[in-house]
Structure 1
């Protein structure tokens, strides 16, 4: 398995877990091209997954395509050398492999093709919804409309190669666009939605309005985005308590948030209930802030709305039918361009705000408009699609890439 980014790593892991359940005797290996592949650590410790190749933290966090500045910073940090070393690792390992599954975009697809082994491709980042939705006046929209697909001709060529045994697109619209160009693509379900389901909020939060906060995990951007999101939330004028569920990733650490929260006038307090799973609790006026690492899966479905500067987690949130508001920043990930693309991809289930003041005002409107919540949630569920993709893709891998020896 070759994966090309944080979100791609999570999708790759879900498919690998499904493969391991169905074929526990298979020897599974993973090559994460961006970052350190932390989400694979548990599987490695359990002994059923082996990681190969070097990893490194890139300044852009894997988003060098967002701007020339981000690309330049990655190049200066050694991206070409890292890619070369990863390619060499794959070449050394190819004699032990029966097949390759690439998750992401052109780079993992190109590496899979270059291995000269049977391969499959899970095209996660591109969707035809990004150019068929919205105004469509940008030069890129016209370019994609001319092609009839967000994927490019050189990518079609690699997907149609005789060694490419399966292609899975992230939605039916994109799969249909690829099939028009001779690519045998399908969309069996969205692995991003696997393992997530709607559950009722615990009794201790029933009196509260519930907001999920997603600031991302790429530092120092995540810390700056957390500050901006919290600055917007303190402007809420609510007659009832507002529980802000900050589902944190590996970063920022809680001790990094303490001075920021104190500066905003929050005071530390014990969590109202042990069943919430919060590691820290802060309060200011009607706002009750709960911090929890690795709590997204538990907390996501409790929210009435989300405020977000994240990628994959935001998509998962609206896929559960929970509307969201975003607040673009300087990046390198969550820029204005990234936010616009995300909003169009999700059909407006996440809506962009241009300032902290606008975010606070529009969040208040959203919380008091059940019809708008329902409509945004409906679109989010439709755009993200059903769960079950991991197991469906695992079945295809077993059928199409099963070892012949």
Structure 2
């Protein structure tokens, strides 16, 4: 039997990318055992695949208050330390070191932490660098959000957003493959002697646009609201996004699709939506066929609530309203322009929103207030040409699907042979 592969990932988006790659690898080599150690959280993204026998969750893991975004603020770091971050990291370090003594390879997915652990194992490893892109410093910041001249100059001097200590780990003789999210970033690393590749974006795999919306829905304007997956931040950000209803009244029939990441409590949404003058409606068979579990209305506006309906509803949307990370990028990759509204965090703060907008070339536009969000929403809905332009930018920045299969082939050839 071939040696097993250990996968390290450190975040919700990284977990989804790792899962896509593992599934592609197992399709090609079902005899290969794959073990996954999520460094942040409990690895819920892997639960279904683990239950199906595609992989095995292993090692010490625990949820953290910041959701893995302790680098966004000192407060988040302090909360994580109080929750046992140092002890968890130490146990994970020891676990990976023990794995390395077996001689079996590792795949690190994320940024410095999984890359450092893979190097420390003493075994051969590969690296998929997911969060960093040179577009985030080489692109202009969104209008009204200020510049970051010191950080931009620092990255420009290096010619890469990745740092010298990360180059050293990527260029180590035991690192057999380095894959990053876009060709622009790969070129920056190759100037420093790193044989980086950009084989495609696994975020877009399995996210093929659904068929056209039902006839009754295609005759309406369609918005998709993505509050994120981390609680309680998701609930707070959903309330902020719905503040747009105070400053905006649709002029024609409009449906707002609330795609929650988990099974939502309709009662909580009912309380929130009633504050904005919406009344609960009757759930008809056609609404249930779309995956809705509750509906509200106010004038020309209809709101549908659907659990885990992102993949079905994303391709139906004309504009997204979002405070999410991975889902926002996926929506932009489908060609849907997005308006975002950063909050207090721990994830979707002003710095995160500005960085996301630069990464996606303005296909995501951050707003300071619900009123500004309402104004930009009116502009986008009134201009199909502008929506198409922003959609093309988002698709170009996110790249092509099929990255998981190409990465699986490269891993076989360079790391697992």
Which category describes the TM-score, using the shorter chain as reference length? Answer: over 0.9
Give the Cα–Cα distance (whole angstroms) in 1 for the partners of residues 49 and 103 of structure 2: 19
Name the structure 1 match of 2:396.
382
Give ranges in structure 1 of 5+ residues lacking alignment: none
Cα displacement string for residues 101-120 of structure 1 (whole angstroms, at most 9, x for unaligned residues):
10000000000001111110
Is the 8 Å Cα contact of residues 245 and 276 (structure 2) preserved in structure 1? no
Give the Cα–Cα distance (whole angstroms) in 2 for the partners of residues 23 and 400 of structure 1: 15
Name the structure 1 match of 2:39.
33
Give the Cα–Cα distance (whole angstroms) in 2 for the partners of residues 255 and 298 of structure 1: 23
Say if 2:407 is the partner of 1:396.
no
Structure 2 residue corresponding to 1:209, chosen from 212, 221, 230:
221
Is the 8 Å Cα contact of residues 99 and 121 (structure 2) preserved in structure 1? no
Is the 8 Å Cα contact of residues 217 and 252 (structure 1) preserved in structure 2? no
Is the 8 Å Cα contact of residues 280 and 291 (structure 1) preserved in structure 2? yes
Q: Closer, same or farther in 2 for the Cα pair 1:142/1:251, shift >3 Å? A: farther
Is the 8 Å Cα contact of residues 234 and 287 (structure 1) preserved in structure 2? no
Residues matched between the structures, number: 403
Give the Cα–Cα distance (whole angstroms) in 2 for the partners of residues 37 and 250 of structure 1: 15
Name the structure 2 match of 1:351.
365
Compare 75-84 and 4-13 and name the one that shifted more: 75-84
Q: Closer, same or farther in 2 for the Cα pair 1:269/1:323, shift >3 Å? A: same
User: Runs in 1 of length 4+ with deviation above 6 angstroms?
Assistant: none
Name the structure 2 match of 1:366.
380
1:234 CA drift (Å): 4.9
Counting only pairs closer than 5 Å after superposition, residues 2-401 of structure 1 correspond to structure 2 as 2-96=8-102, 98-134=104-140, 137-198=148-209, 199-250=211-262, 253-272=265-284, 273=286, 274-401=288-415
Compare 321-330 and 235-244 and name the one that shifted more: 235-244
1:194 CA drift (Å): 0.7
Cα displacement string for residues 162-196 of structure 1 (whole angstroms, at most 9, x for unaligned residues):
00000001000000000000000010100001111
Give the Cα–Cα distance (whole angstroms) in 1 for the partners of residues 134 and 374 of structure 2: 31
Cα displacement string for residues 285-328 of structure 1 (whole angstroms, at most 9, x for unaligned residues):
22211111111111100000101101000000001110010101
Give ranges in structure 2 of 5+ residues lacking alignment: 1-6, 142-146
Cα displacement string for residues 199-230 of structure 1 (whole angstroms, at most 9, x for unaligned residues):
31221202210001000021111111111111
1:137 CA drift (Å): 4.6
Give the Cα–Cα distance (whole angstroms) in 2 for the partners of residues 156 and 185 of structure 1: 10
Cα displacement string for residues 341-371 of structure 1 (whole angstroms, at most 9, x for unaligned residues):
0000000000011101110111011011111
Give the Cα–Cα distance (whole angstroms) in 2 for the partners of residues 234 and 211 of structure 1: 16
1:95 CA drift (Å): 4.5
Give the Cα–Cα distance (whole angstroms) in 2 for the partners of residues 16 and 308 of structure 1: 28
Compare 100-109 and 53-62 and name the one that shifted more: 53-62
| SS across alignment from 2:302 | strand
| SS across alignment from 2:123 | coil
Name the structure 1 match of 2:144.
none
